[in-house]
Chain A
Amino acid sequence: MKFFQRYAKNYGALIGLGILIVVAIVALAAPLLFPVSPWQSVGDPLLAPSEDPAFPLGTDMLGRDIAAGLAYGARVSLLIGLISTAVAVVIGVSIGALAGYYGGRIDDVLMRFTEFFQTIPAFAMAIVLVAIFNPSITSITLAIAIVSWPPVARLVRGEFLSLRSREFVQAAVVIGQSGPRIMFTQILPNVISPIIVTASLMVATAILTESSLSFLGLGDRNMMSWGFMIGAARTMLREAWWMSVFPGVAILLTVLAINLIGEGLNDAMNPHLRGRKD
């Protein structure tokens, strides 16, 4: 209860949560709101917003409903954001925990491996991965996960390094708990808050990365996504602003909302900041 009270004190975080809930509801309800596929031409091409009451956000050059595109795009954005972050967190936590807990040569090997990924620009590598494995929702999710785990690994390693010499860990060693058990039951619960904060921001980055890939034409060609909508609309910017503006606003709001939530979580979970707002 205390946690929610602390979180609710941050109005920005509340607004962010509100926006994200709306986006999530729209994403879940997309097939109910728009039973026809977002790829289907449903009206005249290039209808301006509210020119036809049936299409409040207008239609694109093929007569596809922009609003339907936004709703189905929300599914893709959230799906890729969540899954790729989950995968990245699993990889990052495993590598960081092993490196931080065992130290020594294992640490050296794992950190050099991590640095290898950190030295390559993340977006360039995502492009290469998607291009190699042919653009599909799976390859995009994996590519984003592969380029975004290193910061998690470094964060977790740092926390493990500092926690493993604490008394409660030593006590666990003395009573004979195994290494993995200590890592998962003793140390990890103490690292959860920074991981959650980092992960929430990674979701935002993942959504942006997916949009950028789709904008460049490297998205899944069978899934409607916001980045794709902007990429396709780019050439018509002078004639039909609504085709690129609405998906742009959708990306902006969603990413902003997630960042606000991340900020709020950070405030609520970080014991050092407790009382900052009092």
Chain B
Amino acid sequence: MFQLTRRGALAAGLMLAATAGATAQETPVKGGILNMIAQPEPPMLMVGLNTQGPTLYVGGQIYQSLLTYGKDLQPLPSLAKSWAVSPDGLTYTFTLQDNVKWHDGKPFSADDVVFTADKFLRESHPRWRLIAATYVESITAPSPNQVVFKLKKPFSAFLYAFELSSFPVIPKHLYDGTDYRTNPANQTPIGTGPFKLKEWKRGSYIHLVRNEDYWKPGKPYLDELYFRIIPDAASRAVAFEKGTVDVLRGGDVEGFEVRRLVKLKDVESTTSGWEVYGPLVFMQLNQRKMPFSDKNVRKALMHAIDRDFIVKNIFFGLGKAATGPFASTTLYYTPEVTAYPFDMAKAKKLLADAGINPGDYSVKLMPLPYGAAWDRMAEYIKQQISQLGFKIDIQGVDAGGWSQKTSDFDFDMTFNFTYQYGEPALGVARHYLSSNVVKGTPYGNNQNYLNPKVDALLAEGASAVSKDVATKAYAEAQKILVDDVALNWLYEMQNVTINRQKVKNLVNTGIGLNQYMDEVWISK
């Protein structure tokens, strides 16, 4: 009945081979303390209830998900050691690791996974709730180390819904039948990960220690993890320079500091480890009214903005110009779409040919209030667009104001960036589906892009059983979206992880530092 694909086992083998290759020259040594920064201080460490960056960073050492993903976005085993998909794409069977224990000593079993998927996350996780309601028919545990998801209809992205921020496994014995948000266990997180919470001194540090009963024998290598809380950006850079912390995550220090710190001695840096998230920055133009309801205007704006200039001179080179709706790391990405090179003359010609007199329109630009670089980008874009003849005013708002105005469609022009989660159905389609023109979130189809053909193609991609069908549908969708300029894509963000060279094996997967650090070690 089942045609078991051996993807899981194969991937596991590949990862072992990769690890072996990386550590061939040097043998990992046990012991040591790794110092990092949690910025800003997370509100809690319970990953199932809060998925902000710092919560995932710290909580990812405590909680684990069924799967994790490589830098090439291949699913890799985590709490599930192997998995199989039925040929009709409707049944997913996960086989769990053996001898896994919760931090409080209770055994971990398939019941915990069923509880997590069917009760906990269905209630408390917006993305899982949507997937579960739309696609999942039943979740069962036929044996203590097997979980079976049966789907109502095929969903090609389903295997990508088990990443840490989407599917952390929660202990049933602590949460079943309680009010999740007020459960005291939220303060003393109990997971299956390589590190346990020892102490959280608010405003100062979060201290994790080695889980002696960890299910991977001999792991983790490190004894202790400290996540320091340092509210001031300049002090964070100094802490790294002085060696108080060994690792800086993307965003811990400002872009101009990154450029300086990566040049220090004994320091290495990488932009990998964000492949799953693939943050893409775009300009959102409200298509409900003129001038942006005319796609020639949106095209003209694409030509009028030098995206390489933005990356190089405003964001300190930490990124690359976007070519379309998919980040280049996201599955099914194709570069074969219409290009919009920087060309002011062409932009003006497009407007003239469409019979548009830019002077007739006065437009408000609402920048994203995330700091100096974003303000510079607003100034640059304002200047470029006013060269076309539009009257344009920058309207400064705070973070709450931005979120509210964007959610209420009360904008002409704004910036935004979102994670893509590796799979278009999870992180990309939401901006273009006409069914997602809903108030209340700044991360939907707030610009009001409506195209039934794109809706159909995105649905076809999401429900495809074969990879070829999905590839074809998504390639076609990308072509149309780029021709329509559904959003004015600017650039793919790159986050730099900086660490002292003595810290080994830090970034191994496509979720980077959110990956539990059971393979990380410090050379003496």
Contacts and interface: CB of A to CB of B under 8 A. Distances in A.
Contact of B256 (A39, A41, A217, A235): A235
A222 B393 contact: yes
A239 interface: yes
Contacts of B395: 134, 221
Contact of B375 (A63, A217, A238): A217
Nearest to A60: B376
Contacts of B375: 217, 221, 232
Nearest to A135: B396
Nearest to B257: A235
B254 interface: yes
Most chain B CB atoms below 10 A, which of A41, A134, A232: A41
A236 interface: yes
A45 B376 contact: no
B412 to A, nearest CB: 15
Interface string A215-251: 0010001100000000110111011000000000000
Interface stretch (B207-215, B378-386, B418-426): B378-386
Contacts of A231: 372
A69 to B, nearest CB: 11
Contact of B313 (A40, A62, A134): A62
B394 interface: yes
A61 B259 CA distance: 15
Contacts of A61: 313-314, 376
Interface residues of A, number: 21
Given A61-B313, A235-B254, A238-B260, A40 B383 contact: yes
Interface SS of chain B: helix, strand, loop or mixed? helix
Contact of B382 (A39, A46, A134, A234): A39
Contacts of B379: 39, 62, 221
Interface in B308-330: 313-314
Interface SS of chain A: helix, strand, loop or mixed? loop
Interface residues of B, number: 19
Contacts of A186: none
B360 to A, nearest CB: 19
Most chain A CB atoms below 10 A, which of B313, B376, B386, B394: B313
Contacts of B314: 61-62
A62 B256 contact: no
A105 B256 CA distance: 60
B144 to A, nearest CB: 56
Interface string A146-172: 000000000000000000000000000
Contact of B396 (A63, A217, A234, A238): A217
Interface string B360-390: 0000000000001001101110110011000
B342 to A, nearest CB: 12
A37 B391 CA distance: 14
Interface string B395-428: 1100000000000000000000000000000000
A220 to B, nearest CB: 9
Contacts of A217: 375, 396
Contacts of B396: 134-135, 217, 221
5 contacts: A41-B380, A221-B379, A235-B254, A236-B256, A239-B256
Q: Which 6 pairs from chain A and chain B are nearest by CB? A: A221-B394, A45-B313, A39-B383, A235-B256, A221-B396, A40-B383
Given A61-B314, A217-B396, A221-B378, 11 more contacts: A41-B383, A46-B313, A62-B313, A63-B313, A134-B396, A221-B379, A221-B393, A221-B395, A221-B396, A222-B393, A235-B256
